Amino acid sequence: MTDGQFRGAAPIGRTAIATWFVADDAGAATFFPQVGSRSDAPETQAIYWRCVLCFYASSLAVNPGQPHIFYTNAALPTIDGVAFADVFARWGVKVVRWPITYRLPKGAVEMWGNQFYIFDILAHARADADLDGGAERLVVLDSDCLWLKPVDALAVEIDRHGVATYRLDADEHPVDMVINGRSRADLARYIRARGGKAGERADYCGGEIFAATRQEVARISTGIEALWPEIIGNAPDSPREEAHALSALYALNGYEAGTANPFIRRMWTTFHRNNLARSDRSLTIWHLPAEKRSGFHAMFGAIAPAVEAGAMPADLALSPERYARWMGHPHRSPAKFVRDLSAKLREKLRG
């Protein structure tokens, strides 16, 4: 498959849609600031499992003909009465039990210690000649994402560029900000030192989405293997998290930055930061990192009884309007305001 092969054409073949969950034990745990606790805590893990169910419900509602894959190192649990193994079998979500091998040495980072699992996923996809029935491309997202529209338009963009990337601009991180241990200038030096083209500051592409053709999945996975010894060894300016590494590989391979921006946005809904806009309704995917404990919890609670009773995603009457109510888009309802404020006060009392 070559860049531009499908320019202006309808997507050919299928797109595998995936998310993932890593269950850390106490020895591998790090702090997850968005949920306020360590990654080995049972309630932290339950928060992410609820997001996972909501993710697949939303995707299958608008992408019923596409293959769906779930990558995890864990046994599927029962959360609030919902048996995930039964639900995924009924919904046709393929479960890939796969270990996490891409980790920095213990103590190298204090937060988000299992984010490099995306590289294990790409290694598996690279080696899997079938990729769930011959999918032409792979889209891997964080589990705190919701699908509002089918993948078709995004698939065209993936085929056009090989990889569709989500560039985070200064409204998300100021241009000279240190982001999880590295600045854009650090990444630019790292890229230039390896023969890539970069200005004074490299583009920083968010890790919430990886979207590529099968050919480019293999290329990126091979590139990861080449860079990993430097990352493990903490070479000067080397990546400290998966988005750093992906940003460097995108630049080293000459992929255009920002080609996924028309389809996805990182949307903040906290009391201190709210960047929601009515234009978000035009997006294909909402990424809602601050709603893990609130909006996704409400959505899970609303759909869980029907799911437990055997409902398929098409039976759940999901819609952007319902997502907006659960997630407080573009503004919290009075009931959600009270719930979120109460949760915030409880957090302050605990801390």
Question: What's the pLDDT at 347?
Answer: 78
Residue 227 clears pLDDT 70, i.e. is over it: yes
pLDDT tens digits, one per residue of 14-72 = 999 999 999 999 999 999 988 889 999 999 999 999 999 999 999 999 999 999 999 99
Question: What's the pLDDT at 5?
Answer: 34
Which tokens belong to 247?
């940003």
Looking at the domain assignment, is residue 344 inside a domain?
A: yes
Looking at the domain assignment, is residue 189 inside a domain?
A: yes
Stated as kind and residue range, the H or E segment containing 94 is: strand 93-97
Strand partners, 32: 37
Of 8-17, 87-96, 126-135, 250-259, minimum mean pLDDT range: 8-17
Residue 4 clears pLDDT 60, i.e. is over it: no
Does residue 180 come out as left (phi exceeding 0), alpha (psi in the -120 to 50 range) or beta?
A: left
Looking at the domain assignment, is residue 52 inside a domain?
A: yes
Local confidence band at 133 (pLDDT 50, 70, 90 cut-offs): confident
Looking at the domain assignment, is residue 297 inside a domain?
A: yes
Residue 261 clears pLDDT 60, i.e. is over it: yes
Residue 8 clears pLDDT 60, i.e. is over it: no
Q: What ranges in 137-294 are assigned the alpha helix state H? A: 152-161, 184-193, 214-232, 242-252
CA–CA gap between residue 228 and residue 237 (Å, rounded): 13
Looking at the domain assignment, is residue 6 inside a domain?
A: no
Helices (H) and strands (E) in the chain, counts: 11, 13
- Helix, strand, or coil (residue 107): coil
Chain mean pLDDT for the chain: 94
Looking at the domain assignment, is residue 116 inside a domain?
A: yes
CB atoms within 10 A of CB 90: 12
CB atoms within 10 A of CB 47: 23
pLDDT tens digits, one per residue of 159-215 = 999 999 999 999 999 999 999 999 999 999 999 999 999 999 999 999 999 999 999
Local confidence band at 293 (pLDDT 50, 70, 90 cut-offs): very high
Of 90, 72, 71, which Cα lies nearest the Cα of 82? Answer: 90
What is the domain-level CATH number for residue 103? 3.90.550.10
User: What CA dihedral angle connects 268, 269, 275 and 276, to 10 degrees?
Assistant: 110
Looking at the domain assignment, is residue 316 inside a domain?
A: yes
Looking at the domain assignment, is residue 306 inside a domain?
A: yes
Of 103-112, 234-243, 305-314, minimum mean pLDDT range: 103-112
Cα atoms found within 13 Å of the Cα of residue 142, Cβ hemisphere only:
24
Which domain does 160 fall in, by range?
Answer: 15-350
Cα atoms found within 13 Å of the Cα of residue 165, Cβ hemisphere only:
28
**Number of domain units in the chain:** 1
CA–CA gap between residue 235 and residue 346 (Å, rounded): 41
End-to-end CA distance of the chain: 53
- Contact between 53 and 87 (Cβ < 8 Å): yes
Listed in sequence order, the residues at least 6 apart from 140 whose beta carbon sits closer than 8 Å to its beta carbon are: 18, 19, 20, 71, 118, 121, 209, 210, 211
